Amino acid sequence: MALDRITLSTFRNHRESRLDGSAHFNLLIGANGAGKTNLLEALSLFAPGRGLRRARLPDMAGMNGNGGFSISAALNPGDGGEAVILGTGTEPVRPSRRIVQVNGADTSAISLGEWLSIGWLTPAMDGLFTDSAGARRRYMDRMALGIDPGHARFANRYEAALRERNRLLSDDREPEAPWLDAVEMQLSEAGAALAQGRERLIALISAVLDRLPDQPFARPTLHYVPGGPSDQQMLATELARNRRRDRAAQRTLIGPHRDELEVTMAGKGVPAAHSSTGEQKAMLLAITLAHAELSSDGRPSLLLLDEVAAHLDPVRRAALFERLRQGSGQIWLTGTELAPFSEIDGEAAIWRVSAGELERLS
Amino acid sequence: MASQEIDALSASLSRLPGLGPRSARRAVLWLVKRRETALPQLLEALAAVRDTLVECAICGNVDTQNPCGICADTRRDQRQICVVEDVADLWALDRARLFTGRYHVLGGKLSALDGVRPEDLSIGALLERVQNGGIDEVVLAMNATLEGQTTAHYIAEKMDGMPVRITQLAHGLPVGGELDYLDEGTLAQALRARRPMAG
């Protein structure tokens, strides 16, 4: 299976934890605060970035350790060849610096992405459809990053240029036109690339979702609503034309920072924000699965699903497990009890987690 | 326990770029041990810099003469000006001795957030140099950062209509670089800036 022989050393509440004999489905059962999500977080660190909690590295080091932590796993590349040993962690002397090793040799976190792709869904993302538009833009950008690593650069550059323009517009003095021209040139260049990246992402995900039936698993329809022209020249023209209005508002009123992702439930036509909690969860899952399929791109893939079964009714749950069974990616699930997982308990590797200790159940 | 004098020296040195308190203490100890040999040399060099270094009135370079050695050098092409953000950039370019024209140091880059406005940079002096005539080409050698490129576009627009050719350093594939190792942003830039080959 994708990842096996997983070890955690002084990682959050896990002093020394080891998981062997993983399967396609892997289930972590335990009470709240037992350390199930910590385990998923550890796995999420085999991807570039800050992991599924977006936490700071020093916060991940265990209380009773020496100030550092380490995580390792054997990756089966799926080509029949020898397993690749992945390792990451921090050293006590530099608790903010992430160390990454592949087969014992130091490398960059980015290079982890060459070996496997990891997607996740956590309860923290549950409010996505009712949250601010900004949260949905960040969600789009995170997904776009999985498909095009260059996307982050445009997003950062756009943010920086936007701050410059807003600062110029809110100045007491009338901003100098050539200065605004220069900033808007960069704003439109990064903004067009950013908008096109999001547009492409939503089109790709929609194409995957379109192949699915409306039921029993709730199928979302995604609609990308641009906050400005996605063509560089047109965006530049619009920005220049809106200067007076934007100066009155003291901020930029058009552009991809005003993008919105509209999600409705297919068949019902109801906005996702007005759907039931369970339906929202099902739609989020559908998007997460579609994205995982898109971004795996031939690499072994991992899907970390934290507390997903609880909100779903038995019919949807069965449909979810059936979909996950068909995929090639390795699945890691957590739950407080075994009952919701009865559909898969014959084929899953199951561990009980309590106070950072693991016990293999089956 | 170190004396007040040693502490004061450590404190001054610790502010040097790339040093910090620990390295500064190490440097001070090294100097103290060699106070007969290395210390006088260093004192002399520091005094010479203090007494003779001036900023060139034409380009903003730092040198012991005004105009600086580069501006005074008549063998250099008087019709080309290379515009850089800081003196460090000028030195980097001139170390390679590839550019045969003269320079213009802006003294920073435009940044609304940091409160650096056009009048804080020597942009006016640059425009004046160009307006005075005798210049064919202005090379904008700003960093490829947001502020650097904003500054380049700003200057280019300010020179619009002046009888000079405005060029910019190329962005893209580094010499000796392998495509396989480049990030997408750099590759995309290199592809955009591709040029026809003779042949």
Give the domain ranges of chain B: 4-52, 55-168
- Is A89 known as a binding-site position? no
Which residues of chain B does A185 touch, with a Cβ-Cβ cutoff of 8 Å? 153
The pLDDT score that the predictor gives to residue A150 is 78
The pLDDT score that the predictor gives to residue A151 is 86
Q: Is B158 on the interface with A (CB under 8 A)?
A: yes
Judge whether B4-52 and B55-168 match in fold: no
The pLDDT score that the predictor gives to residue A1 is 62
Task: Kindly identify which residue of chain B lies nearest to residue A149, measuring between CA atoms.
Answer: B184
CATH 3.40.50.300 fits A1-116+300-362, yes or no: yes
Q: Does residue B129 carry a pLDDT above 70?
A: yes
CATH number belonging to the domain at B55-168, selected among 3.40.1360.10, 1.10.8.80, 3.90.1720.10, 3.40.718.10: 3.40.1360.10
The pLDDT score that the predictor gives to residue A296 is 84
Please state the rounded mean pLDDT for residues B57-77.
93
- Is A329 known as a binding-site position? no
Lowest mean pLDDT among A190-204, B35-49, B78-92, B178-192: B178-192
Which residues of chain A does B152 touch, with a Cβ-Cβ cutoff of 8 Å? 182
Q: Does residue B2 carry a pLDDT above 70?
A: no
CA A308 – CA A320 distance, rounded (Å): 10
- Domains of chain A, by residue range, sit at 1-116+300-362, 127-298
The answer, yes or no, to whether ipTM is higher than 0.90 is no
CA A75 – CA A2 distance, rounded (Å): 6
Residue A247 Cα to chain centre, angstroms: 36
Contacts across the A-B interface (CB distance below 8 Å): 53
Flag if B154 and A163 touch (Cβ within 8 Å).
no
Which residues of chain B does A196 touch, with a Cβ-Cβ cutoff of 8 Å? none
Please state the rounded mean pLDDT for residues B176-187.
82
For each of chain A's 362 residues, which pLDDT tens digit applies?
689 999 999 999 999 999 998 999 999 999 999 999 999 999 999 998 889 999 999 999 998 778 899 999 999 877 778 899 999 999 998 999 999 999 999 998 888 888 888 999 999 999 999 999 999 999 999 899 888 877 888 899 999 999 999 999 999 888 899 999 999 999 999 999 999 999 999 999 999 999 887 777 788 999 999 999 999 999 999 999 999 999 999 999 999 999 999 999 988 889 999 999 889 999 999 999 999 989 887 788 999 999 998 888 899 899 899 989 988 889 999 999 999 999 998 999 999 999 999 999 98
B4 or A179, which is more confident? A179
Lowest mean pLDDT among A255-264, B28-37, B143-152: B28-37
Please state the rounded mean pLDDT for residues B184-194.
83
Task: Kindly identify which residue of chain A lies nearest to residue B111, measuring between CA atoms.
Answer: A164
User: If you compute the radius of gyration of chain B from its CA atoms, what whole number of angstroms results?
Assistant: 22
The DSSP H or E segment spanning A303 is: strand A301-305
Flag if A148 and B185 touch (Cβ within 8 Å).
no
- Is A346 known as a binding-site position? no
The structure tokens listed for B48 are 């010479």
The pLDDT score that the predictor gives to residue A328 is 84
The pLDDT score that the predictor gives to residue B189 is 83
Q: From residue A16, how far is each of A159, A242, A357 by CA, in Å? A: 41, 59, 8
CA B110 – CA B121 distance, rounded (Å): 8
CATH 1.10.8.420 fits B4-52, yes or no: yes
CATH no. for A127-298: 1.20.1050.90
SS3 A145: helix
